[in-house]
Amino acid sequence: MADMHSAITGAIGALKGPLHGGANEAVMKMLFEIGKSGGDPVEYVKSLLAQKKKVFGFGHRVYRTEDPRATHLRKMSEQLSKDSGNTKWFDMSRRIEEYVKVEKKLNANVDFYSASTYTTLGIDLDLFTPIFAVSRIAGWTAHVIEQLDDNRLIRPRAEYTGPEYPVKYVPMDQRLI
Ligand SMILES: CC(C)(COP(=O)(O)OP(=O)(O)OC[C@H]1O[C@@H](n2cnc3c(N)ncnc32)[C@H](O)[C@@H]1OP(=O)(O)O)[C@@H](O)C(=O)NCCC(=O)NCCS
């Protein structure tokens, strides 16, 4: 029975971070880094994969085909880059996408082309995740209302497979987080 504001604050917290709502920021940081070094985008990604690192903006927990939002954002990014006369970020993205698709069989997700789209629109990195959050507020609000309309608790079942008693207590400041 939390109020609407608390529920939406919780949703914003869950959106945060580079694996979810912060992925487009991570994509743009990667593009900026490649741009600054003047290196080849494909070589950059090859080296990420060789180090077993993730390439932000690819993969999805649910979609195994192309994220339908990526299809539209790719078009927008291309059009905006042509209109603005700076196709650098789009061209770089396209080469990375082609390589990751062949090499890892991973599709671009919503975050991949939203990075170059936002940058071409002149939007600062710090606003990437907040824009994503704003666009989700209507949906989150609907979920909260729907839940409150028929307030049955959602309790996913889980089987604990972690270490069993007796487990040595390790003080918080000595843990590796
Ligand atoms: C979104 C994401 C968390 C979904 O994860 P998932 O479906 O649970 O997939 P997993 O993390 O279990 O990955 C499955 C395999 O694909 C690889 N993989 C998935 N996404 C990858 C990526 N973006 N770059 C490189 N490898 C990736 C994993 O390393 C793993 O390989 P392994 O089996 O050899 O260990 C994941 O794809 C990811 O971290 N993507 C990058 C962050 C991102 O763009 N997030 C925005 C999502 S809209």
Q: How confident is the model at residue 177 (pLDDT cuts 50, 70, 90)?
A: low
Q: What is the pLDDT of residue 175?
A: 78
Catalytic residue among 5, 20, 40, 60: 60
- Is 176 a residue whose pLDDT tops 80? no
Q: What is the pLDDT of residue 4?
A: 96
Give residue-wise pLDDT tens across range 58-104.
999 888 888 999 999 999 999 999 999 999 999 999 999 999 999 99
Q: What value does the mean pLDDT of the chain take? A: 94
Query: Rounded to an integer, what distance in angstroms lies between the CA atom of residue 29 and that of residue 78?
Result: 19
With b for 16 or more beta-carbon neighbours within 10 A and e for fewer, the 105-131 pattern comes to ebbbbbbbbbbbbbbbeeeeeeebbee
Domain boundaries, given as residue ranges, for the chain: 4-147
Residue with the nearest Cα to atom 6 of ligand 1?
Answer: 61
Cβ 58 under 6 angstroms from ligand 1: yes
60 included as an active-site residue: yes
Residue with the nearest Cα to atom 25 of ligand 1?
Answer: 54
The answer for residues whose C-beta is within 8 angstroms of residue 111's C-beta and 6 or more apart is 23, 24, 26, 27, 56, 57
The CATH architecture that domain 4-147 belongs to is: Orthogonal Bundle (1.10)
| 8 A C-beta contact, residue 104 and residue 127 | no
